[in-house]
């Protein structure tokens, strides 16, 4: 089982790997946060549609 500290560590390592690949830590951070925001927006939209379908039945 993976602890939350290990998950955070793994995410940081992946971020630093991406920063090395891109050659820019700011670009790597932006790419990661943009992905998180996009995922949250999609999840929120899906939940809204599900709630609307449930209330219409």
Mean pLDDT (10-residue bins), the chain, 57 residues: 87 92 91 71 73 73
pLDDT of residue 55: 78
pLDDT value at residue 36: 61
Please give the pLDDT value at position 6: 93
Q: Which domain holds residue 21?
A: 4-56
In the chain, the number of structural domains is 1
Is this prediction's pTM over 0.75? no
Q: What does the DSSP 8-state code read for residue 31?
A: H
Would you tell me how many other CB atoms lie within 10 Å of the CB of residue 49? 10
């Amino acid at each position: 089982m993976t602890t939350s500290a290990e998950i955070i560590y793994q995410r940081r390592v992946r971020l630093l790997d991406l920063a090395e690949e891109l050659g820019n830590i700011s670009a790597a951070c932006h790419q990661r946060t943009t992905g998180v925001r996009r995922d949250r927006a999609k999840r929120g939209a899906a939940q809204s549609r599900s709630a609307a379908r449930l209330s219409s039945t």
